[in-house]
Structure 1
Amino acid sequence: MVTLFSQIKGCIAFLGYVVNTIFWAIPIILGSVIKLIPFAPLRTATSYVLDFCASAWISVNGVIERLLHPVKIELTGDTQFSTKEWYMVIANHQSWVDILILQRIFNHKIPFLKFFLKQELIFVPILGLAWWALDFPFMRRYSTAQLKKNPKLKGKDIEITRKACAKFKAKPVSVMNFVEGTRFHKTKHKKQNSQFQHLLKPKAGGMAFALSAMGEQIHKLVDVAIYYPDHVPSYWDYLTGKLPSVKVHIKISDIDPAMRGDYMNDRDFKIGFQEQLNQLWLTKDRVISQLAGQVNKE
């Protein structure tokens, strides 16, 4: 009976999220039409309104969660944020629920989280337009083969993304990056022969590329460690109340100037960047071990 009740609540919660998403998607799509008007002050003002809509969407999602499947978030570390700061947010990745946890933690505390997206995703019906309207930066990466075939493309990827990020000079932003590039799984961990106990190997290129494209306006790093005490939840586990709690540790630091450079063409910078990121990951691995140890003691 308890299981059946949980399933019913999960279905109701899912329906609530769908309705809430449609409700807030309408003004965001309409706002995207306004942003097509080539008048910078109007575009900037519209961006603030659309970010408000997106934050309101997350807030209502939070109400649904608290009513139907409450999750206790045990937060440690740095908790002093600002909506007027520019942030690079990095986190370990285990489940799509990670995004929901991050949205709940940071909503209304830092600027609305943006994700770097592949250029091709702008053509996804409806969503591509919504992402563009919300100022999600689109990246274009050229392969080694493409660069060999057409050397004139060298540096174009950074330039395209830098132009996409130019709008952030007038408006604070938080850029999200899952550095591992994929969700953690024991099979992937074993295949990588990862030196970390709880993490996959970090992929330095995407973060280095993002920092280079963003320029000097983004100078705070928010490093998030997420640990699920019972098990890594699926989205359905989340909806049906099978995620009673999650432990999250946050560390905020200044972005080292040595982490900005030409990752593609400067070998010394590339090696140095990888070493710095590996150190961050070693620290995160120890933090997760500590969070896991606290659970075992309890």
Structure 2
Amino acid sequence: MSALRVFLIALLLAANTVLHVVPLLVVAVVKALLPIERLRAASSRWLTGIAESWIGVNGWMLDRFSRTRVHVEEDAVLEPDGHYLVLANHQSWVDIVVLQRVFNRRIPLMRFFLKQQLIWVPLLGVAWWALDFPFMARHTREQIQRRPELAGRDIEATRRACEKFRAIPVAIMNFVEGTRFTPAKHERQESPHRHLLKPRAGGVAFVLDAMGDGLHAILDVTIAYPGGRPSLVDLIANRVPEVRVQVRQRAIPVELAGGDYQSDADFRARFQQWINGVWLEKDADMERLLGPPASSGRRTMG
């Protein structure tokens, strides 16, 4: 019965994707052919509306077909036309579903920096391209050590993507740990945090540098699964009873918004000290979110 349930819900989610991707691609082609910037901007709003509709229908179906409840603590003023950098811990692909469920139509459509290979994901890869999601060739530390110019390419790709976002409402999403949490990775890193991997400061620094005053706040999101880290199949199979989320709005530190992370060792040390402080708070938040539920202060979705 569980396997049949997963198959049927996955089929509905796939059908919803097809129904939204087809008009999205039509609008994307029209946008590419339009010579007038004002019309291109209008097309971008249509593209965003289609994407938000897709997310909304997915959320509606999951609400109807599962008992998963998302409890949210929110200390933020959210604006659908704001300019945000969204930082979050990362444990599962379910994180993306949760983030979309919490923020859809409440802040601008979130854009993720994606691995270049993901452009080949059927339907979604083309949709991400049409929505101006930045694709990056992720290089390992060993590859960069052998070919230092590769680091410069990643920085330049970040800068080009952020330049495009300066003129529109945007929420740039960054999973600061760079990979999903697993006990093995946690042990291999010798992470000082109980529930988190070590944060990677470079990506955050590059976005703040490239966007400059184009961002007005940071949304610091902590996602906790009291029942254990789930997979997408667990979510569809109704095996995720509860998700707890904390959203905290942070001001962008003025002294960290325009430094040279790559070349200035003193600035890099200050930036890493700041992000490590954020992660210490986040680890304490995770400990609390995974404990007994709070009696108040949370709103429930689903």
User: Do both proteins adopt the same fold according to a TM-score greater than 0.5, normalized to the shorter chain?
Assistant: yes
Letter of the 1:16 partner, please give it: L
In 1, Cα distance between equivalents of 2:251 and 2:227: 33
The alpha-carbon deviation at position 127 of structure 1 amounts to 4.4
In 2, Cα distance between equivalents of 1:134 and 1:114: 8
The alpha-carbon deviation at position 123 of structure 1 amounts to 6.9
Match of 2:298 in 1: none
The alpha-carbon deviation at position 118 of structure 1 amounts to 4.4
8 Å contact 2:59–2:101 — kept in the other structure?
yes
Q: TM-score, normalised by structure 2?
A: 0.87
SS in 2 for 1:221: strand
After superposition, give the CA deviation of every residue in 1:100-129 in whole Å (9 maximum; x if it has no partner): 000000001000110123456557775444
Q: TM-score, normalised by structure 1?
A: 0.89
After superposition, give the CA deviation of every residue in 1:233-274 in whole Å (9 maximum; x if it has no partner): 111110011011111111001111222221111111111111
8 Å contact 2:163–2:210 — kept in the other structure?
no
Match of 1:185 in 2: 182
Residue identity over aligned pairs, in percent, reads 45
After superposition, give the CA deviation of every residue in 1:70-126 in whole Å (9 maximum; x if it has no partner): 321111131531011101011111110010000000001000110123456557775
Match of 1:265 in 2: 263
Check 1:186–1:158 CA distance in 2 against 1; reply closer, same or farther (3 A cut).
closer
8 Å contact 1:95–1:233 — kept in the other structure?
yes
8 Å contact 1:258–1:273 — kept in the other structure?
no
SS in 1 for 2:42: helix
In 1, Cα distance between equivalents of 2:7 and 2:115: 32
**Range with bigger deviation, 102-111 or 41-50:** 41-50
Match of 2:233 in 1: 236
**Range with bigger deviation, 129-138 or 215-224:** 129-138
Contiguous gaps of at least 5 residues in structure 2: 296-302
The alpha-carbon deviation at position 144 of structure 1 amounts to 5.2
- Residue 65, structure 1, aligned to residue 62, structure 2: yes
Letter of the 2:72 partner, please give it: L
**Range with bigger deviation, 39-48 or 217-226:** 39-48
8 Å contact 1:83–1:111 — kept in the other structure?
yes
Over aligned residue pairs, what C-alpha RMSD do you find?
2.4
Check 1:193–1:240 CA distance in 2 against 1; reply closer, same or farther (3 A cut).
same
8 Å contact 2:166–2:211 — kept in the other structure?
no
**Range with bigger deviation, 264-273 or 213-222:** 213-222
8 Å contact 2:158–2:206 — kept in the other structure?
no
8 Å contact 1:35–1:133 — kept in the other structure?
no
8 Å contact 1:92–1:180 — kept in the other structure?
yes
8 Å contact 1:32–1:129 — kept in the other structure?
no
Count of residues in correspondence between the two structures: 289
Letter of the 1:277 partner, please give it: I
Match of 2:14 in 1: 18
Match of 1:281 in 2: 279
The alpha-carbon deviation at position 194 of structure 1 amounts to 0.5
Check 1:155–1:268 CA distance in 2 against 1; reply closer, same or farther (3 A cut).
same
